Structure 1
Amino acid sequence: MERPCLSRRRALLLPASAAAVGGLASCAPEDEGFGTAEPVRAEDGAVPLEDVPENASTLVNFGGQRPFVLLVRGSGDDLAAYSGYCTHNGCALRQETEGELDCPCHGSRFDAETGDVLLGPATTHLPEVSVVVQDGLVRRAS
């Protein structure tokens, strides 16, 4: 039986294809991407408001299909929430500094207070997420 010939061009593309597959795997949903700044884990779908520092932003794992949410707290009950996923390819973000979120997959950076893009390749700000504060607990709104 005759075996198909592997052309030089195809042989050269194989390592690039393997690298691309490896790069895409790094964006897989099971890759949380948070590095050293682990998100706060919400027990029973809620996190105590007192665990979210005032005048700061905090990544929270609410559980579920897209669990990561960035909570931005002013003073008291002043709270905004944004998706914890990059708008470029959906990778989970990590909080590198207090003021910025970083996408470990392709390097996009977001303002941790507004969700605005600071550095691409992402071009769209982080979408807002509805949350409610009831009895001192922060929950995703239904």
Structure 2
Amino acid sequence: MERPCLSRRHALLIPATAAGLGGLAACGPEDEGFGTAEPLRADDGGIPLEEIPEDASTLVNFGGQQPFVLIVRGTGDDLTAYSGYCTHNGCALRQHEAELDCPCHGSRFDAETGEVLLGPATRQLPEVKVAIEDGTLRRVR
């Protein structure tokens, strides 16, 4: 007797595979956007400080591994930088007004202090080292 082209075992895997691919599609490029605006993009040399608004929080894409950084700028050179990734599971955060929201599990962070506002995350966002050189903001590695 000839075996069918599709065994029962393989037929049962089709729904699970489809669900898995659908889940991966949900984690596509739209999860890397932050709220309704894209993060500012820095070239290899950094980003001009004048592009980062004063008295505001701004997400910047520095490229490379873990590229998203939250820049909290006061006036002039007064700034602090935090990781743009959730401390719960490492998902890229989205900025919504004065909060950063995690699209994966719903954690929320204060966009000025990096403090957790809503779990499941329990740790605040870690600081990231940045430096201003000749009017350009650069990430320090």
Q: 1:139 to 1:39 in 2, by over 3 A?
A: same
Q: 1:27 to 1:52 in 2, by over 3 A?
A: same
Q: 1:66 to 1:114 in 2, by over 3 A?
A: same
Aligned to 1:8: none
SS in 2 for 1:115: coil
2:29 and 2:36 mapped to 1: Cα distance?
Answer: 18
| Aligned-partner residue type, residue 55 of structure 2 | N
CA deviation after TM superposition for structure 1 residue 34, in Å: 2.2
1:50 aligns with 2:41: no
Q: Runs (4+) of structure 1 moved beyond 3 Å?
A: 14-31
Aligned to 1:116: 115
| Aligned-partner residue type, residue 103 of structure 2 | P
> Contact 1:29 / 1:91 at 8 angstroms: preserved in 2?
no
Aligned to 2:59: 59
Aligned to 1:85: 85
| Aligned-partner residue type, residue 91 of structure 1 | C
In the alignment, structure 2 segments of 5+ residues that lack a partner are: none
1:21 and 1:87 mapped to 2: Cα distance?
Answer: 25
| Aligned-partner residue type, residue 58 of structure 1 | T
SS in 2 for 1:132: strand
Q: TM-score, normalised by structure 1?
A: 0.80
Number of matched pairs: 136
Which deviations, in whole Å up to 9, do the C-alpha atoms of 1:78-104 show, x marking residues without a partner? 01000001111111111111x111111
> Contact 2:62 / 2:68 at 8 angstroms: preserved in 1?
yes
In the alignment, structure 1 segments of 5+ residues that lack a partner are: 6-10
SS in 1 for 2:38: coil
CA deviation after TM superposition for structure 1 residue 26, in Å: 3.7
2:110 and 2:74 mapped to 1: Cα distance?
Answer: 15
> Contact 2:86 / 2:107 at 8 angstroms: preserved in 1?
yes
1:141 and 1:39 mapped to 2: Cα distance?
Answer: 19
**Root-mean-square deviation over aligned CA pairs:** 2.7
Aligned to 1:71: 71
Aligned to 1:104: 103
> Contact 1:27 / 1:91 at 8 angstroms: preserved in 2?
no
2:17 and 2:124 mapped to 1: Cα distance?
Answer: 31
> Contact 1:37 / 1:96 at 8 angstroms: preserved in 2?
no
